[in-house]
C-alpha cells in the first residue's frame, strides 16, 4: 500500500489562520464537488500562492488547501441547463482554476457578482512567485538604470560645483580689481580739470593720443590672434576638428554601406525565402546577416547625433555620444563570432544555381558599385578598430585639461577591452573551425579532432618510406616515389596527435589503416640516424639526411616505425622541431601529473587553478582570455620577473610561450639575466614552483611519511657535485642521436598492477627514471639509496634539470646567433652544461642531452657572413659578365640574399626601429640589408651602362630580365625587386632605342605586374 504524503500540518494551519485574517482575497464562493457535481458554498481565503477554503467564516480548521503555483485561472461560460433553471444560471458567474499537470481535474468556482468574479480571477492570476521574480528583475534593472543616472548626475554636479567655485574665485578677483581701480580714480580726481576750459591744442593732442592708444591696442590684439593661430594649441585644435570631420564622413560612409547591406541584400533575400520556391531558407538568411539590421539602426542614431554636434560647431562635445554607443556595441561580439560561419553558409548557398543567379542580380545594383556581398559582410569587422584609432588620434590632439579628456579615455579603454574580447573569441573559434575543416576533409572522419583541447600546429606533404627496406632503397626508387606520388602523404600535426593521410584524385583524404593516427604520448622521435647503425648511415647518404622517423610503442599493440622524408632540410628542421616541442609539452605535463598524483591528493590541475598568479591580472602582469597549449591564459604583457617565473615553472611547459620568449627577450632583458635564472633554477629547483603549491606538496608529503619532519638543512636539498665522470663524446663528424621518449605510463602501469594494489611498489624516482630513459639504452638505472624511495624532492630536481636542458636546447639550436655574437654568454652556457655533467644523480638520458647541447654549442659556424658580402662590393673581381649563365647568376644572387636575410636578428623586427632616427644603432643588420639591396641594384645598372652600343645594352637587359625571372622561380622576390629597381632607374628607363630592341621581356614584365 502506497503511503500518503506527509507535510507539516502545523505550519499549514498557521498559514490558514493568517489567510483567514489577512488574506489577499476572502469571501464566499460556490465550489463544484467532484463526486456528485453539486455546488457547495464555502468560505475561501487566498494567501500568497495558497488557496484555503473553510466550511464557514468562523471555522478554525480549513477544509482543503490548493497550491496555485504554476496554475492558470480564467473565466468560464455557464453550463447549459433547462429553461426552468436558465434564469438562475444567468445570475451566476463561473471561473476555472486549471492546474499545470495531467491527472488533476480543474477547480470550478462561481460567484453571484461579476465584479467579484473578476477580482478573484485577477488575484489568483497574480498569486505566483515566478511573476514576483520577473517583476523583481524588472525593478532591479530599473534600479540599476536609476543608479547609473544618479552617478552621472553626481559627476555632472561635481563638475558644475567646480566651475562655480572657479567662477566665485574669478568674481572675487574682479571685485578686488574694481576696488583698486576706484581707489586709483579717487586719488586722481583732484588733478582733473574742466574739459571745457582746456586749450584746443591740448584737446587735439589728447585726441591724437586716444587714436594712437586704440591703434596700439588693436595691433596688440591682432598680434595676439596671429600668435595663437600659429601656436601649437591652435594647430592641435585644427587637427582635432579635422579628425572629427573625418570621423563624421567615415560614419556617413559606414551607415551607407550598412544601408546597402540591409536594403539590397537582407530584406530582398527575406522576401525570396518566403516565396513559393525559395532559393534560400530563413535560417540561412539569419545566419548570414546576424545582427546586421540592429547594427544599422544603432549607427544611424549615432550618425544623427554626430551631425547634430557638427551643426553646433565650433563647440564639439562627443563624449556623451560614445557613452550612449558603448553599452550597445556588445552586439558586435556575436557578429564577429558568427562572421566566419556566415561566409561558410553563404558559400554553401552559392552552390544553388537559383540563389547564385539571384545574388548576382542583387550585386549588379548600381548602389553596390561592383562590390560583392562578402565585402559588405566584412565592413563591420573593422568598425571597432576604426573607432579605437580615431579616439587615439583624437586624444593625441586633446589637451589634458580638456573637459572631454577623461570621457574619451574611458570610451577608448572600453573599446579596447571589447576589441580584445572579440579578438580572443575569434582566436578560440579559429582553431576549432580549422580542426573541423580538416575532419570534414577526411572521408573516414577523425574523432580526436572533435576534442577542443586539440590545437593545430602545422600541415604539409611528406614522403613515407617503407621501414623494412629503408636501407635498400636507391635514388632511382626515391625518384619513382616522388614522381608517381606513391609514398606522398598529407600530414597534420596537433598538440597531442600526428595524422598521416593519403589524398585521392578527388582531393579527399583517407587515413592510413596502420599508423594513420599516431598518439604523441607513445612516440619517440629520431631526428638523425645513429652513426653506429650501418643501415641508417647508408639511408642517410641516399636521402641526404632529409629523413626522420617516429618509433611508436602503443600499450595495446605491437610497436612499429614510421619513416618520413622531408622535401628539404628547412622543412625537416621545421617538422622535427614542432614534433619535439609537442612531445616535450606532453612529457612535462604527464611527468608532473604522475609525480604529484602518485602519493598526494594535490593534483596538478588543482594546483594551477588554485594559483591566482596564473590567471588573475596584477600590477606586473596582464592575461588574455585565450588559453595556450597548456590551457593556461596567455600573457598579454608582464614584468621581467614574472616572465622568467613563467619560463621556469615546472608544473607545465608552454611551447608557444617558450618560442615567443626566445624571440623577444632581447627587447626587455639581456641574455645574462636569463642565464642567471636558468643556473639558479638548476642549483635551487624549489624556487621554480610557487610557494603555495610547495606548501600543499610538502604538507601532503609529510602526511605520507607518517609525521616525519623534513630537515631544512638536509644534504638532499642541495646539489652534490663530484669529479666529472669520463665521457665519450662523439666526434663532430658523427651525427648525434636525438631521441625523446614519452611512454610515461606503460612501464609504471605494468609494475603497479602486479603489486596487489600497492601504490608504493614503484617509487616516484624509479618511475621518473623509467619514464625518461631512452629506448635502446639498456635497463633502467637502479637506485640503491633507501632514502631515495618515494622521494619527491629528487623528482623535482630531475624535472628542474629537464626544464633547464629543454630551454637551452631550443635556445642553442634556434638562436645560435646569440652565442656567436656573445662569447661570454657562450662560455657561461658551456660552464653550466659541464656543471650538469658533473652531477652524480644525472640520468643517462639527461647526460646524453647535455652532451648533445654542449657539442652543438662548441661547433664553429664557417658560413659566409653579411660583412663579407658587403666587402665584396668594394673589391669586385675581374670576371666577365658574358661568361656567366643566367642560371648561375640567379643562384648566386639567391644564395647571397639568403645569407643576408638569415643574419638579421629577431629583435630588429620589433618596434619598427628601421623607421626611427637612430635606426643605424637600433637595426644595423636591416640597414645592411638595405645597403646590400642598393649595391645589387647599382651593380645591375652599372653593368648595363658599361656597354656603348645599343645592341649590347639590349642583350644585357634581356639577360638580367632572364635572371630576374629565374629568381622568381626560385622564390627570391627580393632578387626580382633588385633587378626591377635597376631597370626602373632613369638612366636605364630613358634608353628608348635600347628598349625598342628588347622584345623578349614583354611576357616576363606582364608576369611581374601580376605579382
Reported as a single tens digit per residue, the pLDDT across 279-320 is 999 999 998 998 888 889 988 888 888 888 777 766 667 777
* CA distance from start to end of the chain: 89
Other Cβ atoms closer than 10 A to 795: 24
For 467-527, what is the HEC assignment?
Answer: CCCHHHCCHHHHHHHHHHCCCEEEEEEECCEEEEEEECCCCCEEECCCCCEEEHHHEEEEC
- pLDDT score, position 255: 92
Report the mean per-residue pLDDT for the chain: 76
Checking if the pLDDT of 534 tops 60, the result is: no
Per-residue pLDDT, averaged over 639-656, amounts to 79
Please choose, from the candidates 627, 626, 458, 486, the residue with its C-alpha nearest in 3D space to the C-alpha of residue 565.
486
Residues linked to residue 633 through DSSP beta bridges, in sequence order: 627
Of 60, 50, 63, nearest to 17 by C-alpha is 60
Cis before 410? omega within 30: no
Of 953, 954, 977, give the one whose Cα is nearest residue 964.
Answer: 977
Taking residues 139-144, what's their average pLDDT? 90
Position 499 scores a pLDDT of 92
> What span, in angstroms and rounded, lies between the C-alpha atoms of 525 and 548?
8
What is the C-alpha to C-alpha distance for residues 339 and 341, in angstroms, rounded to an integer? 5
Is 876 a residue whose pLDDT tops 80? no
What is the pLDDT, as a whole number, of residue 578? 80
- Model confidence pLDDT, tens digit, residues 464-509: 887 544 444 444 344 444 444 577 889 999 888 999 998 887 778 8
Grid cell digits, residue 624: 588574455
CA angle 68, 70, 76 (to 5 degrees): 70
Local structure of 796: helix, strand or coil: helix
Mean pLDDT to the nearest integer, 155-180: 90
Q: Are 527 and 596 in contact (CB under 8 A)?
A: no
Q: Across residues 766-787, what is the average pLDDT?
A: 39
DSSP 802-853: HHHHHHHHHHHHH-THHHHH-HHHHHHHHHHHHHHHT-TT--HHHHHHHHHH
Compute the distance between CA of residue 431 and CA of residue 437 in angstroms, rounded to an integer: 10
The domains found in the chain, sorted by start residue, are 9-127 (2.30.29.30), 234-432 (1.20.900.10), 588-614+661-858 (no CATH), 866-1010 (1.10.840.10)
* pLDDT computed for residue 2 by the predictor: 57
Span 665-685, average pLDDT: 86
Tens-place pLDDT, residues 586-614: 766 655 555 544 444 444 555 566 677 77
**Mean pLDDT over residues 672-696, rounded?**
72
φ, ψ (nearest 5 deg) of residue 523: -105, 150
Q: Which residue would you say has higher pLDDT here, 436 or 653?
A: 436
More confident residue, 65 or 844: 65
Is the pLDDT at 111 greater than 80? The verdict is yes
Distance of CA 220 to CAs 217, 226, 920, Å?
5, 10, 48
Asked if residue 544 has pLDDT above 80, the reply is no
Residue 979: closest CA among 931, 944, 946, 953 = 944
Region 618-642: mean pLDDT is 79
State the pairing for strand pair 39-47/25-32.
antiparallel
The grid cell for 140 is: 532591479
Could you give the CA distance from residue 688 to residue 665 in angstroms, rounded to a whole number? 19
pLDDT at 801: 85
Give every strand in the sheet of 64-67, ordered side by side: 64-67, 50-54, 39-47, 25-32, 107-111, 93-98, 72-76
How high is the pLDDT of residue 867?
57
Place of cell 643556473: 679
- pLDDT per residue as tens digits for the range 978-1005: 998 888 888 888 888 888 888 655 555 5
What pLDDT does 606 receive? Answer: 55
User: How does residue 171 score in pLDDT terms, banded at 50, 70 and 90?
Assistant: very high
| pLDDT confidence of residue 265 | 92
Give mean pLDDT, residues 372-386.
87
More confident residue, 756 or 388: 388
719: phi then psi, degrees, rounded to nearest 5: -75, 140
Q: Identify the band that residue 256 occupies on the pLDDT scale cut at 50, 70 and 90.
A: very high
Q: At what angle do helices 569-598 and 792-814 cross, to 10 degrees?
A: 170
d(CA 40, CA 49): 23
Listed ranges 13-22, 187-196, 523-532, 686-695; the one with the highest mean pLDDT: 13-22
- The predicted structure's pLDDT at residue 474: 41
**CB 981, CB 941: distance < 8 Å:** no
Beta strands in 841-993, from DSSP E residues, in sequence order: none
Interacting residues of 306 by C-beta distance below 8 A, sequence separation 6+:
247, 248, 251, 318, 321
Q: Which residue has the cell 631597370?
A: 983
Query: Are 250 and 393 contacting, i.e. CB atoms less than 8 angstroms apart?
Result: no
Amino acid at each position: 500500500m502506497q503511503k500518503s504524503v506527509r507535510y507539516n500540518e502545523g505550519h499549514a494551519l498557521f498559514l490558514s489562520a493568517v489567510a483567514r485574517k489577512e488574506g489577499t482575497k476572502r469571501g464566499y464562493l460556490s465550489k463544484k464537488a467532484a463526486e456528485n457535481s453539486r455546488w457547495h458554498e464555502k468560505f475561501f481565503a487566498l494567501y500568497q500562492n495558497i488557496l484555503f477554503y473553510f466550511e464557514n467564516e468562523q471555522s478554525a480548521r480549513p477544509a482543503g488547501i490548493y497550491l496555485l503555483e504554476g496554475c492558470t485561472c480564467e473565466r468560464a461560460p455557464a453550463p447549459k441547463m433547462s429553461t426552468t433553471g436558465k434564469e438562475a444560471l444567468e445570475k451566476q458567474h463561473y471561473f476555472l482554476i486549471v492546474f499545470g499537470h495531467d491527472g488533476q481535474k480543474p477547480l470550478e468556482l462561481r460567484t453571484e457578482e461579476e465584479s467579484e468574479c473578476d477580482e478573484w480571477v485577477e488575484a489568483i492570476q497574480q498569486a505566483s512567485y515566478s511573476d514576483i521574480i520577473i517583476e523583481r528583475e524588472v525593478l532591479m534593472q530599473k534600479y540599476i538604470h536609476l543608479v547609473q543616472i544618479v552617478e552621472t548626475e553626481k559627476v555632472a554636479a561635481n563638475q558644475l560645483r567646480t566651475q562655480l567655485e572657479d567662477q566665485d574665485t574669478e568674481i572675487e578677483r574682479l571685485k578686488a580689481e574694481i576696488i583698486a581701480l576706484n581707489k586709483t580714480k579717487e586719488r586722481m580726481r583732484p588733478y582733473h580739470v574742466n574739459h571745457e576750459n582746456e586749450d584746443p591744442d591740448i584737446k587735439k593732442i589728447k585726441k591724437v593720443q586716444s587714436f594712437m592708444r586704440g591703434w596700439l591696442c588693436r595691433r596688440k590684439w591682432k598680434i595676439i590672434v596671429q600668435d595663437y593661430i600659429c601656436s601649437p594649441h591652435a594647430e592641435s585644435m585644427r587637427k582635432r576638428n579635422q579628425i572629427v570631420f573625418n570621423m563624421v564622413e567615415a560614419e556617413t560612409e559606414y551607415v551607407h554601406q550598412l544601408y546597402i547591406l540591409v536594403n539590397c541584400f537582407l530584406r530582398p533575400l527575406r522576401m525570396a525565402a518566403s516565396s513559393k520556391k525559395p532559393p534560400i531558407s530563413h535560417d540561412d538568411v539569419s545566419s548570414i546577416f546576424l545582427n546586421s539590421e540592429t547594427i544599422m539602426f544603432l549607427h544611424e542614431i549615432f550618425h544623427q547625433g554626430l551631425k547634430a554636434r557638427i551643426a553646433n560647431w565650433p563647440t564639439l562635445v562627443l563624449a556623451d555620444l560614445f557613452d550612449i554607443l558603448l553599452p550597445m556595441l556588445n552586439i558586435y561580439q556575436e557578429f564577429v563570432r558568427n562572421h566566419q560561419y556566415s561566409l561558410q553558409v553563404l558559400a554553401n548557398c552559392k552552390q544553388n544555381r537559383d540563389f547564385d543567379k539571384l545574388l548576382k542580380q542583387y550585386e549588379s545594383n548600381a548602389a553596390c558599385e561592383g562590390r560583392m556581398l562578402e565585402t559588405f559582410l566584412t565592413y563591420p569587422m573593422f568598425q571597432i578598430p576604426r573607432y579605437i584609432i580615431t579616439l587615439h588620434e583624437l586624444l593625441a590632439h586633446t589637451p589634458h585639461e580638456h573637459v572631454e579628456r577623461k570621457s574619451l579615455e574611458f570610451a577608448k579603454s572600453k573599446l579596447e577591452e571589447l576589441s580584445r574580447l572579440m579578438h580572443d573569441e575569434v582566436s578560440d573559434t579559429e582553431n576549432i573551425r580549422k580542426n573541423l575543416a580538416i575532419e570534414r576533409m577526411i572521408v573516414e572522419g577523425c574523432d580526436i579532432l572533435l576534442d577542443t583541447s586539440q590545437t593545430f600546429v602545422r600541415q604539409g606533404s611528406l614522403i613515407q618510406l617503407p621501414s623494412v627496406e629503408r636501407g635498400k632503397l636507391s635514388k632511382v626508387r626515391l625518384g619513382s616515389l616522388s614522381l608517381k606520388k606513391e609514398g606522398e602523404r598529407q600530414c597534420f600535426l596537433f598538440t597531442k596527435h600526428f595524422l598521416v593521410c593519403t589524398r585521392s584524385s578527388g582531393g579527399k583524404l583517407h587515413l592510413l589503416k596502420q599508423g594513420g593516427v599516431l598518439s604523441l604520448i607513445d612516440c619517440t622521435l629520431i631526428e638523425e640516424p645513429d652513426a653506429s647503425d650501418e643501415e641508417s648511415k647508408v639511408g642517410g647518404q641516399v636521402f641526404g639526411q632529409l629523413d626522420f622517423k617516429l618509433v611508436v610503442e602503443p600499450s595495446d599493440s605491437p610497436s612499429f616505425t614510421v619513416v618520413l622524408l622531408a622535401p628539404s632540410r628547412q622543412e625537416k628542421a621545421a617538422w622535427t622541431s614542432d614534433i619535439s616541442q609537442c612531445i616535450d609539452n606532453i612529457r612535462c605535463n604527464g611527468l608532473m601529473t604522475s609525480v604529484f598524483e602518485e602519493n598526494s591528493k594535490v593534483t596538478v590541475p588543482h594546483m594551477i587553478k588554485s594559483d591566482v598568479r596564473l590567471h588573475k591580472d596584477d600590477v606586473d602582469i596582464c592575461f588574455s582570455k585565450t588559453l595556450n597549449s597548456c590551457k593556461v591564459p596567455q600573457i598579454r604583457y608582464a614584468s621581467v620577473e614574472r616572465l622568467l617565473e613563467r619560463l621556469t615553472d615546472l608544473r607545465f611547459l608552454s611551447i608557444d610561450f617558450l618560442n615567443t620568449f626566445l624571440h623577444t627577450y632581447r627587447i626587455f632583458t639581456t641574455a645574462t639575466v636569463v642565464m642567471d635564472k636558468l643556473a639558479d633554477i638548476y642549483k635551487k629547483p624549489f624556487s621554480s614552483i610557487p610557494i603555495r603549491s610547495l606548501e600543499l606538496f610538502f604538507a601532503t608529503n609529510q602526511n605520507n611519511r607518517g609525521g616525519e619532519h623534513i630537515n631544512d638543512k638536509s644534504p638532499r636539498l642541495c646539489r652534490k657535485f663530484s669529479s666529472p665522470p669520463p665521457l665519450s663524446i662523439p666526434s663532430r663528424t658523427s651525427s648525434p642521436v636525438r631521441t625523446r621518449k614519452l611512454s610515461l605510463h606503460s612501464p609504471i602501469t605494468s609494475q603497479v598492477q602486479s603489486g596487489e594494489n600497492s601504490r608504493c611498489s614503484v617509487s616516484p624516482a624509479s618511475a621518473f627514471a623509467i619514464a625518461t630513459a631512452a629506448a635502446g639504452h639498456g635497463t633502467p638505472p637502479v637506485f640503491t639509496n633507501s632514502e631515495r624511495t618515494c622521494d619527491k624532492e629528487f623528482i623535482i630536481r630531475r624535472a628542474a634539470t629537464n626544464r633547464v636542458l629543454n630551454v637551452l636546447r631550443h635556445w642553442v639550436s634556434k638562436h645560435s646567433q646569440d652565442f656567436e655574437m656573445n662569447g661570454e654568454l657562450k662560455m657561461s652556457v658551456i660552464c653550466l652544461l659541464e656543471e650538469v655533467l658533473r652531477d652524480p644523480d644525472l640520468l643517462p638520458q639527461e647526460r646524453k642531452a647535455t652532451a648533445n647541447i654542449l657539442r652543438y654549442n662548441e661547433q664553429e659556424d664557417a658560413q659566409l657572413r653579411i660583412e663579407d658580402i658587403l666587402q665584396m662590393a668594394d673589391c669586385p673581381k675581374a670576371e666577365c659578365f658574358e661568361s656567366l649563365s643566367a642560371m648561375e647568376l640567379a643562384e648566386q644572387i639567391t644564395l647571397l640574399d639568403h645569407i643576408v636575410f638569415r643574419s638579421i636578428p629577431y629583435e630588429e623586427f620589433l618596434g619598427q626601429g628601421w623607421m626611427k632616427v637612430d635606426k643605424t644603432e637600433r637595426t644595423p643588420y636591416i640597414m645592411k640589408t638595405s645597403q646590400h639591396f642598393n649595391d645589387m641594384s647599382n651593380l645591375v645598372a652599372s653593368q648595363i651602362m658599361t656597354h656603348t652600343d645599343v645592341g649590347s645594352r639590349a642583350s644585357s637587359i634581356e639577360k638580367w630580365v632572364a635572371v630576374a625571372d629565374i629568381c622568381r622561380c626560385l622564390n627570391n622576390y627580393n632578387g626580382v625587386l633588385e633587378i626591377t629597381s635597376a631597370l626602373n632607374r632613369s638612366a636605364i628607363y630613358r634608353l628608348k632605342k635600347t628598349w625598342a630592341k628588347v622584345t623578349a621581356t614583354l611576357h616576363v614584365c606582364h608576369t611581374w605586374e601580376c605579382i
